[in-house]
Amino acid sequence: MIAKARETMSARERVERTFRFEKTDRVTIGYDANPVVHARLCHALGVRPDDRRALDDALGVDYTGVAPRYTGGNPYPEKPDRRINVLEGCYMRWVANASGGYWDFCDFPLKDASDEMFETYPIPNPDDFDYAFALEQAKALGGRYALYAGNCGTPDMINSNGRIMSMEDVLIHFIEQDEAAMDFMRRRAASQLEVLSRTLEICRGRLSFVWLGEDLGTQRTPMVSLALYRSVMKPVHEQFVSLAASYGLPVMFHTCGSSSWVYEDFIGMGVRGVDSLQPEAVNMSPEYLTEHFADRLTLRGLISTAGPLATGTPDEVDAYCRRTLAVCMPHFGYHFAPSHAIQDNSPAENVVAMYQAAHRYGVYA
């Protein structure tokens, strides 16, 4: 079991103070993991894999999301050996590996699509959601967690469209400004914006932040130029950030890979926090990020899923987390979390060591 730090604040107070760069009792704690390692961790801690609340209690997780329930049914063709994401229209197949496996994206129904295919491909109608369900979640969970709306895939124009038309096609459409493709992508974002707007309204006063996302970097370089980001994606992102601001909510923005090149634009839009933060990517180390953005962006992540967590010993994980906390904590804007979902090649004892380190070293005097 994990020996948890003494707490003098509620999870909501802890999270909201962190977004304001104010001192808390301990760092906020987040958790993301793939199903196989999640099950192993639950077994190690003596909780059921389907009892997420019990696991959160064991780890000290501070926040969880609320969302409306989709009621619109599946408008996409069924395919054998495939899963369908009915909110995106993307298909997935099971790909096994030595550590377990993944449902990976495949088929790409809008690859090389005609204008007519873009015009007729189904997009969720914001009316086809049960928003009262989000409110009931908020009422049930608000006493235990800080709550957020959205997620790291909202609106994520590159990935969410790449899953249905391929990454290559998305980037080509961005550059060529293909009218039918760009109209389709903007309509999808508009649907997400309206769903988020109705969620924020019905949960008014119960949420602590809004979570958005757009993967913008490879491990070494930007995925797109700054000029292309500003012309294509930024106008969409600004709508979501402005919506959150209208409800007085800070925004956490997920970006994978080497993404700090865009953070000044994020700050200008009003983004308050950035997430994922893979420290081995270029200009994404804790030292670089705190030097350039401390007191302007809260930082979530930086515990690498490709470092000691996957390849080291529990003692090495402990030392690694301690170093990261020592760099990030003095600015009062650090959210302790893995740099992405913890992968299946991470031993459960290393994950336990990671969260034990948060409670051991993540406490403010």
Q: What are 11-30's pLDDT values in tens digits? A: 999 999 999 999 999 999 99
Residue 119 and residue 184: Cα distance in Å, rounded?
7
How far apart, in Å, are the Cα atoms of 8 and each of 23, 136, 356?
12, 27, 18
Please check whether residue 105 is in contact with residue 90, taking contact to mean a CB–CB distance below 8 angstroms: yes
105-141 confidence digits (pLDDT tens): 999 999 999 999 999 999 999 999 999 999 999 999 9
Three-class SS string for 98-112?
CCEEEEEEECCCCCC
Contact 335, 148 (CB under 8 A): no
Residue 51 CB neighbours (<10 A): 12
pLDDT of residue 63: 98
- Residue 187 CA to residue 135 CA, distance in Å, equals 26
pLDDT in the model for residue 96? 92
Distances (CA, A) of 354 to 43, 174, 281, 304: 16, 40, 21, 11
Residue identified by tokens 């000044």 is 264
**In this predicted structure, what is the pLDDT of residue 30?**
98
Check residue 101 and give its pLDDT. Answer: 86
CA torsion through residues 136, 138, 144, 148, sign: positive
Q: What is the pLDDT of residue 99?
A: 82
How would you classify residue 30: left for phi > 0, otherwise alpha for psi between -120 and 50, otherwise beta? beta
Render pLDDT for 51-98 as a digit per residue (tens, 0 to 9): 999 999 999 999 999 999 999 999 999 999 999 999 999 999 999 988
d(CA 252, CA 315): 31
- Quickly list DSSP for 120-139: HS----TTSEEHHHHHHHHH
Q: Which domains does the chain have, with CATH numbers?
A: 11-73+110-361 (3.20.20.210)
Q: Which of 243, 287, 286, 335 is nearest to 19 (CA)?
A: 335
CB-based contact 212:241 (threshold 8 Å): yes
Cis bond upstream, residue 155 (ω within 30): yes
pLDDT for position 233? 97
Looking up tokens 């292309």, which residue turns up? 228
Q: Which residue in 105, 102, 79, 226 sits closest to 167, CA to CA? A: 105
State the Cα–Cα distance between residues 26 and 11, nearest whole angstrom: 10
With a cut of 50, which residues of the chain have pLDDT below it?
none
* Nearest-angstrom CA–CA distance, 206 and 220: 39
Q: Which pLDDT value is given to residue 100?
A: 82
Q: How far apart are CA 140 and CA 91, in angstroms?
A: 33
CA distance 335 to 30: 7
Mark out the alpha helices in 123-258 (DSSP H runs).
131-141, 157-165, 167-176, 179-202, 226-228, 234-246
Q: First vs last Cα of the chain: how many Å apart?
A: 24
Alpha-carbon torsion 167, 172, 177, 179, what sign? Answer: negative
